[in-house]
Amino acid sequence: MSRRMSEQDWQALDAVEVYGHAEAHTIASEYTWGWTSCWFESTGEMNHYMFNPIDGRYALTIDKALYWWMDDDHEPMTPRQQRARERMLAYLTDRETRGDMGEVTDFRKGWVGEQ
C-alpha cells in the first residue's frame, strides 16, 4: 500500500546526497498509477530486462515505465513531480552503473527517515 510523502519526508530526501533503497521506495510509493509502478513500489524491480533499453540504458527504461504519464504533455509536471523523477532516475542510474539491477529484498519496508 502506498502513501504520500509529507513535507518532512521531502526535507529528509533533500538532505540525502546518494539515494538508496529507502529513499527510492519513499518516492515510488507516492506514484503508483499503473502495474509497473505498483510492481516497482513493492519490489524495487519490474523485470526491466523484458523491455528494450532506451539508449542502451535500463535506468531510462524503468524511468519511462514509472513516469510515462509525465511525458504525455497533458499537463506540465509540478516541481514536486520533477524533483521525484530526477531523484529516482539518479537512484536507478547508480544501481545500473553498479550492476545492481533486479528485485530488492524488503524494498517495501524502507522509508526515508525510518531506518
Which distant-in-sequence residues (6+ apart) come within 8 Å of 78 by Cβ? none
Query: 76 lies in a domain?
Result: yes
Query: 115 lies in a domain?
Result: no
72-88 burial string, b = 16+ CB within 10 Å, else e?
eeeeeeeeebeebbebb
Query: 114 lies in a domain?
Result: no
Query: 90 lies in a domain?
Result: yes
Q: Which grid cell sits at 22?
A: 529507502
Query: 105 lies in a domain?
Result: yes
Query: 2 lies in a domain?
Result: no
| Residue 26: CB atoms within 10 Å | 25
> In the chain, how many domains are there?
1
Residue 4 is predicted with a pLDDT of: 79
Residue 111 is predicted with a pLDDT of: 87
Q: Which grid cell sits at 28?
A: 515510488
Query: 1 lies in a domain?
Result: no
Alpha helices in 1-115 (DSSP H): 7-14, 21-30, 35-43, 58-66, 79-97
Query: 23 lies in a domain?
Result: yes
Look up the domain containing 57 and give its range. Answer: 7-109
- At which residue does the C-alpha cell 499537463 appear? 75
pLDDT digits (tens), the chain, 115 positions? 567 788 898 888 888 888 899 999 998 888 777 777 888 888 998 876 777 888 989 899 889 888 887 776 767 788 888 888 999 999 999 999 999 988 999 998 888 877 5
Residue 94 is predicted with a pLDDT of: 95
Give the CA angle between residues 40, 62, 5 to the nearest 5°.
50
